[in-house]
Chain A
Amino acid sequence: GAVVSQHPSWVICKSGTSVKIECRSLDFQATTMFWYRQFPKQSLMLMATSNEGSKATYEQGVEKDKFLINHASLTLSTLTVTSAHPEDSSFYICSAFPGLAGRWGQFFGPGTRLTVL
């Protein structure tokens, strides 16, 4: 249990285009999902907290108009990188909290590797 999927697993796009990344909890409902970004040789940095049915909470320094988050249902959150630029190239990972009794911690999707040319 507690499986999280992401789609696509990798994407290459031209500068200026928008890219949508989906994060799904497959066998549990998640009222809260988290979006992280990881640059090479660095640790994960939280970008935003995605709450089902309400606006996402963004971390300081993360542009909410550039990184659009929609938590449409209890099993799906999407991150759209708008007008992507080469500096947005990174590994984007989502996580979800299953809230299961006796199961602590968050579970991560396999990540989406974005390369902007």
Chain B
Amino acid sequence: RKEVEQDPGPFNVPEGATVAFNCTYSNSASQSFFWYRQDCRKEPKLLMSVYSSGNEDGRFTAQLNRASQYISLLIRDSKLSDSATYLCVVSDNRDAGNMLTFGGGTRLMVKP
């Protein structure tokens, strides 16, 4: 079983749609959680950290359920520029100064 599992997709959605990605992690001692975005042939870029209380950044909402070891990312009003691979990332260190464990990524394609 992979440490961090994601549905690879692709998710093909029209502009303006709402789309949700899910992620599960196996290490119950994990301390910090993130969503990264990776464009084709580019490096991953931090999209947002994920907090237990849930957090929102514009059109993006992240949720964490520690009991179920489950993380989600909701994107509202999808834009063409949201097309990318979204990586669920977990660390066993509180501030992620330690190694990161990456999920396989979920590919999103937003169509006109």
Contact = CB atoms under 8 A, between A and B. Distances in A.
Partners in one complex: yes
B25 to A, nearest CB: 14
Given A43-B102, A99-B95, A110 B43 contact: yes
Contacts, number: 49
A7 interface: no
Nearest to A57: B99
Contacts of B32: 104-105
A25 interface: no
A111 B41 CA distance: 9
B54 interface: no
B97 A97 contact: yes
A34 B100 contact: yes
Interface string B68-90: 00000000000000000001000
Contacts of B87: 43-44
A105 B98 CA distance: 9
A79 B43 CA distance: 17
Contacts of A109: 43
A113 interface: yes
Size class of the A contact interface (CB-based, 8 Å):
20 to 34
B1 interface: no
Interface stretch (B12-20, B44-52, B57-65): B44-52
Given A43-B87, A93-B43, A113-B41, A106 B103 contact: no
Contacts of B103: 43
A46 B98 CA distance: 11
A75 B15 CA distance: 42
Contact of A111 (B34, B43, B102, B105): B43
A108 B37 CA distance: 11
Interface of B: 32, 34, 41-46, 49, 87, 95-97, 99-105
Given A43-B87, A45-B102, A95-B100, 15 more contacts: A34-B100, A42-B104, A43-B102, A43-B105, A97-B96, A97-B97, A99-B97, A104-B32, A105-B32, A105-B49, A105-B96, A106-B100, A108-B45, A110-B42, A111-B42
